[in-house]
Copies of this chain bind each other. A is one copy, B any other.
């Protein structure tokens, strides 16, 4: 057994993170520093309890966090082992500062900036796209879905020529409601509304709870698509600092709600936040739901990525803690099942009737065929087998990319490696401009997402979001080497 530092140093600096999170971070550093090497056995739960004078449940949460993050691997009847070398030697992205005063809410004016970025990128159509958030088609069950679609069309030929069911095909509503049960979310198929991807779900949720001019609290950084929705609806955004490890800062949210009592809703991605990749710990999820109930604001949960998380048990949505219908749950099948089918679904709690009207008046019911294909696939064992393979492929791609960034990027680069998905959030050193890197990379055939599009502020101008959409091959290695070189050169 190796020596571990004693409890006191763990408590400082007090980042506001819960004890188990601070302990987990301690062990991440121990592993990253090489003190515990890949293959080494971790101290036991009992050892942790006595060493750090923590409860059984705290110790267990430490192990779960480390396992979720891919640092440890459980071997039946043998305990926990360090799974791998740290992906690169990079330090993790710093925790955000929590200002004592909330920022003012501001109308979003990002669409033009985002359009310019997209337009510039389109001038280089052959570029390797590391700026997207969707994986290659090869990650998804193409042949299986194709065969299913053809078979379903043979059995139900009028799917294309008959009006579909209002609210979505009963088969799909049933399939997703049943699957949600295992994550602690109890919804009936009647509560489920099928949407055109998660984007339409979030759009409908915002329209249901807010009017133009209203203020919505969002994570900072946030998925730029959410900021575009706010802009298109004439809503104001109030950005809440968000930790790259534990997600939205509840402390900052509390400050903001006090300063700005007319906030109508909070939109949050608790599981694999985009772009940070963080997963909010269960205790924080519970606390967040409570806080929103207490403050009387709608909680809109956006869940495109949850099923990509590598963990022993399924991560839970905020909706699992919803007791009074205050959470509008928005899920998407684009990133986990099939990017071309444009399917999402939502369960809108006490806004159900209003959301149904809005959906009916916005796009009516969805196209039918894709819904039947998804329903059958999700209802079968094939979905879990697919997810298992998908997560494993993404893990390999993600870690290889992170390793390469560690090798190629300038000293001082920071990176948070998420416990799932295909997105990496990278901080360039010395305040280097990610807009400049974006521009410099295009002529080299590389497209990235600059941090400037993830906030209405200039806060993330030194960050980039990099995706790992396909296998880590020579092209990817060369692209990251080139990016690293360019990052060294720009100002």
Q: Is A199's CB within 8 Å of the partner chain B?
A: yes
Interface residue? A57 (CB, 8 A): no
Known interface pairs A211-B234, A212-B211, A212-B212. Does A161 touch B340 (Cβ–Cβ under 8 Å)?
yes
Closest to A229 in B: B361
Contact A160 B164 (CB under 8 A): no
The residues of B that contact A370 with a CB separation of less than 8 Å are: 160, 367, 369
Instruction: Tell me if A338 is interfacial: C-beta within 8 Å of chain B.
Output: yes
The chain B residue with its CB closest to the CB of A197 is: B364
Tell me which residues across on chain B come within 8 A of A159, comparing CB atoms: 340
**Bound Cα distance from A412 to B467, whole angstroms:** 70
Name the B residues within 8 Å of A146 (CB-CB).
Answer: 153-154, 157, 160
Q: Which residues from chain B contact A429 at a C-beta distance below 8 Å?
A: none
Whole-angstrom CA separation of A132 from B367 in the bound complex: 18
Smallest CB–CB gap between A19 and chain B, Å? 41
The residues of B that contact A324 with a CB separation of less than 8 Å are: none
| A 274-294 binary contact with B (CB < 8 Å = 1; else 0) | 000000000000000000000
- Of chain B, the residue at the smallest CB distance from A195 is B363
Q: Given B199, B203, B228, B369, which contacts A369 in the complex, CB threshold below 8 Å?
A: B369
Question: Quick check: which of A134-142, A243-251, A433-441 contacts chain B, the rest being far away?
Answer: A134-142
Q: Which residues of B lie under 8 Å from residue A363 when comparing CB positions? A: 195-197, 199-200, 203, 342, 362-363
State the main secondary structure of chain A at its contact with B.
helix
In the bound complex, how far is the Cα of B149 from the Cα of A195, in angstroms? 22
Residues of chain B with a CB closer than 8 A to A158's CB: 137, 142, 340
The interface bits of chain A over 446-477 (1 if a CB of B lies within 8 angstroms of the residue's CB, else 0) are 00000000000000000000000000000000
Residues of B within 8 A of A364 (CB): 196-197, 199-200, 342
Chain A window 190-234, contacts with chain B (Cβ cutoff 8 Å), 1 for yes, 0 for no? 000001110110010001000110000000000001001101111
Q: Mark A163-196, 1 if CB is under 8 A from B, else 0.
A: 1100000000000000000000000000000011
Please give, as numbers and ranges, the residues of chain B lying within 8 Å of A361 by CB-CB distance. 199, 203, 225, 228-229, 231-233
* Shortest Cβ distance from A334 into B: residue: B163
A163 B143 Cβ-Cβ under 8 A: no
- Give residues 338-356 of A contacting B (CB, 8 Å): 338-343
Interface residues on chain A, number (Cβ under 8 Å):
60
Q: How far, in whole Å, are A366 and B111 apart by their CA atoms in the complex?
A: 20
Question: How far does the alpha carbon of A228 sit from the alpha carbon of B149 in the complex, in Å?
Answer: 34
Residues of B within 8 A of A153 (CB): 146, 149-150
CB distance from A125 to the nearest CB of B (A): 12
A339-B199 contact in complex given A150-B150, A228-B357, A361-B229, C-beta closer than 8 Å: no
| Closest Cβ–Cβ distance, residue A435 to chain B (whole Å) | 21
A128 contacts the other chain (CB 8 A): no
Q: Is A358 an interface residue (CB 8 A)?
A: yes
| Min CB gap A158→B, angstroms | 4
Do A161 and B339 touch across chains, with their CB atoms under 8 A apart?
A: yes
The answer to whether B357 touches A232 (Cβ under 8 A) is: yes
A196 CA to B341 CA, complexed, in Å: 13
CA distance A225 to B203 in the complex (A): 20
Interface presence of A368 (CB below 8 A): yes
- B residues near A369, Cβ cutoff 8 Å: 149, 340, 369-370
Interface string of A25-67 (1 = CB under 8 A from B): 0000000000000000000000000000000000000000000
Question: Does A162 interact with chain B (Cβ within 8 Å)?
Answer: yes
Determine whether A88 belongs to the interface, using a CB cutoff of 8 Å to chain B: no
A232 to B355, CA, bound (A): 10
- Residue A105 CB within 8 A of the other chain: no
- A117 lies within 8 A of chain B by Cβ: no
Return the contact of A149 from the options B160, B342, B358 (Cβ within 8 A): B160
Shortest distance in angstroms between A219's beta carbon and chain B's nearest beta carbon?
Answer: 18
* Contact between A160 and B134, CB atoms less than 8 A apart: no
Sample (19) of A-B pairs whose CB atoms are under 8 Å apart: A115-B357, A134-B163, A142-B161, A143-B157, A149-B149, A149-B160, A159-B340, A161-B339, A195-B363, A196-B367, A197-B363, A199-B361, A200-B363, A200-B364, A203-B363, A225-B361, A228-B360, A229-B362, A342-B367
Binding site for B on A (CB under 8 A): 111, 115, 132, 134, 137, 140-143, 145-146, 149-150, 153-154, 157-164, 195-197, 199-200, 203, 207, 211-212, 225, 228-229, 231-234, 334, 338-343, 357-358, 360-370, 373
Given contact pairs A197-B363, A228-B361, enumerate 11 new A-B contacts (beta carbons under 8 Å): A137-B161, A160-B341, A160-B373, A163-B334, A163-B340, A164-B340, A196-B196, A196-B363, A203-B363, A342-B366, A362-B363
